Amino acid sequence: MGTQTENETETGKAAETGSDSGDRRGAEPEAGAAVGAGAAGSGTTEPDTEVEPDTEVEPDAGVEPDTAPEPEARVAHGVGQGAAAIVSAALGVVSLTGSWLGTVAAARETLVGQLETAAGAGVAIQVEEIYGDAWRTSALWGGLFALTALLIGVVVLARPAFGTPGAGQAPWIRSVAWAGVALGAVGLLLAVLKYTDVLLGLPATG
């Protein structure tokens, strides 16, 4: 009986040991599966660190684009305005000093007066026909040059107000244009005074 009891006890211990080892073996795969799932989960939950390239930002509809002229356009406008200002000043000088056209026109009027005046005409008629008309013709041409210089100078000064916004005007262009306006105004005034015989009129003939 004692031997049977010891065998039963050993058999029970062996059974318990087998069940414990079986439980441990069954738990190990579950733990491995849990670790694998955690690793897989950690691999799929990493944040996306890739940076997208910069995209062009479209301008707002309410914001007007930059309308400043290009440097080449500014240079072109500056060249044209500068040339016009110089022409204005030159024509103003010509109106004061005389021109080839005015000289030729005055000489022609003198010749016409000599041909049309009778040989026996009085002194007053000869002076008027030969010299008076020639002087007035010279004054007329001087006035035309002066008026042209005045108009060109005014157009150059007023051009920025009607041109491209933001396109400035060089100071020297404004200075030359103002010189043309001044010379044209003086030349026009002198031409009017000369044409009306207020300035340098014909001499009295008695």
Q: What is the pLDDT of residue 52?
A: 54
Q: What is the mean pLDDT of residues 165-177?
A: 81
**pLDDT at residue 54 in the model:** 54
Q: How confident is the model at residue 141 (pLDDT cuts 50, 70, 90)?
A: very high
What is the per-residue pLDDT across 66-105, written as a single tens digit (0 to 9) for each? Answer: 554 555 555 555 788 899 999 999 999 999 998 898 899 9
96-126 confidence digits (pLDDT tens): 998 898 899 989 988 888 888 776 777 778 7
Q: What is the mean pLDDT of residues 16-27?
A: 48
The DSSP secondary structure of 39-66, one letter per residue, reads HHHHHHT----PPPPP-PPPPPTTSPPP
8 Å CB contact between 167 and 69: yes
The torsion angle over the Cα atoms of residues 87, 89, 95 and 100, rounded to 10 degrees, is -40
Classified as helix, coil or strand, 38 is helix
The full length of the chain comes to: 206
